[in-house]
Amino acid sequence: MTDQTQKTDPTEQYDQPENTDEQQAPPGLTEDMQDKPDHGEDSYRGSDRLTGKRAVITGGDSGIGRAVALAFAREGADVLISYLEEEETDADETVRLIEDAGRKAVKCPGDIREEETCQKVIDTALSELGGIDILVNNAAYQMAQMGGIEDISTEQFDRVMKTNLYAMFWLTKKALPHLDAGSTIINTASVQAVDPSPELLDYATTKAGIHNFTRGLAAQLAEKGIRVNAVAPGPIWTPLIPATMPVERAESHGESAPLGRAGQPAEVAPAYVFFASQESSYTTGEMLGVTGGKPVS
């Protein structure tokens, strides 16, 4: 990995990641990646923008979720991460990063495709953190099908919809009674919401839904002083890529972006910090693209 601290040209800030020789089994683990993502471990510096806040991050074990958890902790927030049980080793590393920043870390494993798990996430945040100020609906599932809609099974479609949309709906609904004015909800959308790849038809459909959910909910909650925004990443290098894409596609992931490379989780996390902090106090209902130059509107 390129030493990004010595680079200012965004096309050269990071080398294009190298893929493993074989596709990982979903959901994928950071430790099994040939080229590990950068989550900001050596670069992110906090400035007390989230001091005393309590955050819930789904999919917080790895990738964008880990980078956001690290950034939030270094900004002064305590963090609960939700993740699948098979991602325990990745979750443990995220916990270490949060605790090294001097903040409280809470683990809440389980499959958020089940409504009961979503209730458990919120209940655990209330009991272990004492409340919720920031909800980050980040967890997602995709599986590329190069043959298009004919290859998307009902089982896959159901998994994508429940992970990406149902869980966001359940978690938001269950958290809302516990959110005060000044709280924020941040959803992870995608460039796929406006520029869908044929092999990711079901995933792209959910990301378009997240875009509209964000804008509609923002309008609904504005009078309560609760802001709702979305970050729309482009091609970011996370365990999901080698676990859900053919090897040859993973190898070229991000090369079609105007900046010519895949992004790193560390490059996305600051957008979540912006939406979570008072710096964005007059911003709600927005979708902020971190895409390497691909438009999201």
Catalytic residue annotation: 203
Q: Give the Cα separation of 128 and 106 in Å (integer).
A: 7
Nearest CA among 56, 69, 70 for reference residue 117: 56
Per the structure block, which two tokens stand in for 273? 């910090």
Per the structure block, which two tokens stand in for 225? 């002083």
Contact partners, residue 44, CB within 8 Å, separation at least 6: 67, 70, 71, 74, 266, 269
Helix (H) or strand (E) holding 154: helix 154-161
Helix (H) or strand (E) holding 271: helix 265-276
Amino acid letter for position 62: S
Q: What is the DSSP letter of 109?
A: E
**In 3-state terms, what secondary structure has residue 95?**
helix
Q: Give the Cα separation of 193 and 187 in Å (integer).
A: 13
Burial 163-187, CB ≥16 within 10 A → b, else e: bbbbbbbbbbebbbeebeeebbbbb
Within 13 Å and on the Cβ side, how many CA atoms surround 86? 6
Cα-Cα-Cα-Cα dihedral of 286, 227, 271, 97, to 10°? -150
Cα-Cα-Cα-Cα dihedral of 176, 174, 194, 202, to 10°? 180
Beta strands at 184-188 and 134-137: parallel, antiparallel or unpaired = parallel
